[in-house]
Structure 1
């Protein structure tokens, strides 16, 4: 049984007020724009559409209400853009989702041989307000050489949103985006530039990109990270962040080379006792709680995670590894660890009522399991 959620991300990001804001920007540079008709066309369909469908719907409505000539329409859209995102920030500045239809408009109506250069330059401007990472994939798949060359130049752009876009747009497994048809290795020259970046927003994207590749080619990722570490073109602290974040999937899987590269490659020599839960039954919205005692039988570094198997609705069982703690213990040293795991409704993961299980993992090795039952609030 699926737990019900009252929060709607699609309604928060795409609603009547957001569409009004968009129309106000367009009318300011194109007075002939049918503001009320466009607003009605867009909003009247929202109740039937999911988030990505709303983006596509707005893009189609823009095409309907803007001049038929693509180049004329594009000039209007670019002139209507608000100021660029604050270039003084260094992280988590995603911009406003309401401009996602702009980039999709470019992808739907400007992904043609005679418009490639014009369209890519337009996406570069749009991505300074909201990332055009999905839209550029239309061009990567259709005009790979031209687009990868353009994105390579973007990797050294002064604007960190543009640099990040070069990385996100070429990610092999970018969430909510169409699949790329090019070989994932073709994006490595872009990563070789961007891993040196001084902005965490960019280096996190590089790490996410490598994490995508690690799911199909672990050896390539480990070799790439080793090369970057040896080249010393990034600070030790930031390189450590990139390495650990890029290898998170492999370390959760207990991949020996990955664990070794982040300093947790040795098999743990520990004793686990009192692994138990005080919440064998959890209501939706509450937290599952567990604790255990751990004694180190020698001096060692330990990476403690737990793997959660979510209740199944008859399909493939969902599972996810969660970080708990990194620590270094001396021989004979003991520690008690306690964790509260919220079982909240989220837009990114649905909850199924029923039995859940966690498996404790230390340096990728399993050390016991617990179950709990998720019930309605």
Structure 2
């Protein structure tokens, strides 16, 4: 049957505006920790609410300690996470153990809470091969450095889950800058075409490495990019852990019921630099904007909410902080105890059969390493 046409002149601008106006922001908790959307409240027990807060506080301490370790030369690559705890941890909290996470380089906390031992996360940062040896039963990939590549990989993992009849999803993250990459579109388009159980999250922290999101795209929202792929899309207050949880949990339920993938834009903010590799955010962000977003801090917001319910207090938070410091110290000791990595180790894990030029190099380094 031929598609329907209209004789009147098409107003392309009006069509675009109609699409854009559909993408409003899902919020459950406002900045004061007050529930402003009771209908969207997720079904979480008091214990689950406390556990989510515990993880957020723990991760803020982990971020602070990781920055210090990086400055001391005890960690390698590190991308700060403060400000994005709700986006990262509430999304992971909405998953089940059998679900897969394919993270970007900033998304170490979600895969740690999904089962990757913390000492291995430290080793990954150092470039040690043991950091990428994921334990059996832990459904995560190592963090992807190539921006946006994890979107294509997630589409593949999700399709694999579907073909095997596994009731699970594959979830991935990128930043607002990642939505400008070709892999971003290819991954969502593929998942949409095959109705794969994937959840794609774009953490819109507004500046990618240093470019404002307004210069990344002409689209008013990132969420509307889902329309082109023919998949569900939603924009969420990424500083609101309950809104993030609700959006991801609903996306998971629909995915495992055969309703296809979802793209979620979380509006969030990174308080630190893009990475610890020399980025200076004061060159592209104003103090006024930083102050505005600090008032939206996900830990402050969630703390106020829980305190009003009698579920959180200063004593409980201090216990979590001390626990985090102690466990981070132990994980660091374990990472320090890992065997020193050799050049020949890198060759051996990369190749089954070494090419001739590397055979020669292998012999040279073997001789050096045996001394």
TM-score (norm 1): 0.28
Larger of the two Rg values belongs to structure = 1
TM-score (norm 2): 0.28
The structure with the largest helix share of the pair is 2
